[in-house]
Amino acid sequence: MDFASPLLELVKELWGLASKPLGHICNLKDNVDALRNATGDLKAMSGDVKARVEREEGGGGARRTNQVENWLDKVQEFEGGVDQVLQEAEERDQIKCLSRCLPRNCWSSYKLGKRVDRLLNEARELQHKKEEFGDFTSLLPLPPVLAMPMDEPVGLDISFNEVWKWLMDEKQIRMIGLYGTGSVGKTTLMKRINNELLRANLGFKVIWVVVSKQVNEDNIRDTIRKGLNITDEIWEGRSQDEKVNHLLEVLTQKKFVLLIDDIWVRLDLSKIGVPRHNKSKVVFTTRLKQVCDHMRADKTLRVQYLTSEEALKLFEKNVNKSLIDCHQEIQDLAKDIVEECKGLPLALITVGRAMASKEDPGEWRNALTKLRNIPHKVPDMVGEVFHVLEFSYDNLDTTQQACFLYCCLFPEDYSIKIRELIELWN
């Protein structure tokens, strides 16, 4: 009895040591099947994750998190190792010996079974890791300068070069005011400045703000803080004074250009949170020269109407064909129409587009007659723009006129999304 007890313990110990290797051999087929199923599930998960990540990254404003990218790399590496093991298992001779319980080559079967078991555990671990994901992507920080969409500018080279020279002055010039009649090209000039700053990569943080007639200082601050990547968590819950002080603190440490479009009255930038220091530049547009004076601009520039040559070039561009190839009468009428537009870009663009499909000289004569009925004695050129737009509106069909009037219901400077607009029309 004393001899049997230690022997029994020895047998149990030996069996414990042998059971796991024997399990690798005896359970090889079942484990291979389990690995094949787990791999299929993992591939499906990986495909779903890739599709979601690519969809969220498609807009260009997000990228996959490091956790997700690392997981996808591990799954890809895992799949390569599994393919090799499964291929080896399929090629192996499945004829068994030892009463059909063990394969013929026990050592190689043991090694294969061990690899299968390891990969099976790895597949389960990767499946578990996927369930731990929070966000699949994170928002990218805004670049220092965002490109502004715009058509190729016409007739702004002289104005742009002057403003650019002032922007490059690091010592004296801090604030620049651009003024001129509505629709004369002030915003287009600002867009060109913005995009040139992007191209030049001078290290400026550029922030674009639209003000319009109804000033809302809170909206201006909110636009600036978003341009600085200040998160909602940091911003929300603060008092107005705290928000102002926070903007002042952040902007004081940065080299920035603030582009403010369409100011109608003086803005106290210090109350908004914008410092005036040697790293900053502020460029704003306004229709009124006196606003430049009230803003104490270091330099002001009047954005002029286009010259006759520039006006004809812009008009021809929007007619979308060379006037040289047109009937001589149309060429002559086109020059008269351009003259009636008084060098105003908006007028040239709208009339040019309205005449794009007109091939009959009679239609051009009719257009010129309408334009000449505009009351030129009205000193405010905005009135002339209205009549030019009225002419363009009259050339729309009934459906297009209805669509145009519907868009007029939106607030000034509202970003109208095409998809949303179509849904509203439906």
Looking at 302, 321, 355, the residue that finishes a domain is 302
Q: Domain range holding 286?
A: 157-302
The answer to whether residue 208 is domain-embedded is yes
pLDDT at 97: 41
Q: Are residues 127 and 171 in the same domain?
A: no
Positive or negative, the CA dihedral 40, 42, 43, 44 is: positive
Q: Is 300 helix (H, G, I), strand (E, B) or coil?
A: strand
Confidence of residue 190 (pLDDT cuts 50, 70, 90): very high
Residue 146: Cβ within 10 Å count: 13
Residue 3 lies in a domain: no
Residue 332 domain-assigned (yes or no):
yes
Same domain, 313 and 287: no
What are the structure tokens assigned to 120, written together?
């099976």
Region 286-294: mean pLDDT is 91
Q: Is 150 within a domain?
A: no
317, 290: one domain: no
Helix (H/G/I), strand (E/B), else coil: 147? coil
Q: Specify whether the CB–CB gap between 32 and 120 falls below 8 A.
A: no
- List, as one string, the DSSP characters of 332-352: HHHHHHHHHTTT-HHHHHHHH
Burial readout 364-403 (b: 16 or more C-beta within 10 A, e: otherwise):
beebbebbeebeeeeeebeebbebbbebbeebeeeeeeee
Domain count of the chain?
A: 3
Residue 234, both tokens:
């940091």
Indicate the helix (H) or strand (E) that contains 166: helix 157-167
Q: Does 296 lie in the same domain as 229?
A: yes
Which CATH number is 348's domain given?
Answer: 1.10.8.430
Do the domain assignments include residue 277?
Answer: yes
Q: Which of 108, 139, 170 is the last residue of a domain?
A: 139
On whether both 283 and 325 belong to a single domain, the answer is no
Considering only CA atoms, which of 238, 260, 259 is closest in space to residue 249? Answer: 238
* 99 and 21 together in one domain: yes
In a domain, 416, yes or no: no
- Write down the pTM of the prediction: 0.61
User: Do 234 and 175 sit in the same domain of this protein?
Assistant: yes
Decide if pLDDT at 24 tops 70. no
CATH number where 225 lies: 3.40.50.300
* pLDDT tier for residue 357 given thresholds of 50, 70 and 90: confident
CA triplet 50, 56, 60: central angle to 5 degrees? 120
Tokens of 186: 């002030």
pLDDT of residue 358 exceeding 80:
yes
Look at residue 168 and tell me if it is in a domain: yes
Greater confidence, 139 or 173?
Answer: 173
Q: Which of 302, 319, 345 is the endpoint of a domain? A: 302
**The pLDDT of residue 285 is above 50:** yes
Lowest mean pLDDT among 129-133, 136-140, 192-196, 403-407: 136-140
Residue 98 has pLDDT above 50, yes or no: no
Amino acid at 2: D
- Choose between 29 and 63: higher pLDDT: 63
Q: Is residue 7 domain-resident? A: no
Same domain for 298 and 316, yes or no, is: no
- 116/191 Cα distance (integer angstroms): 61
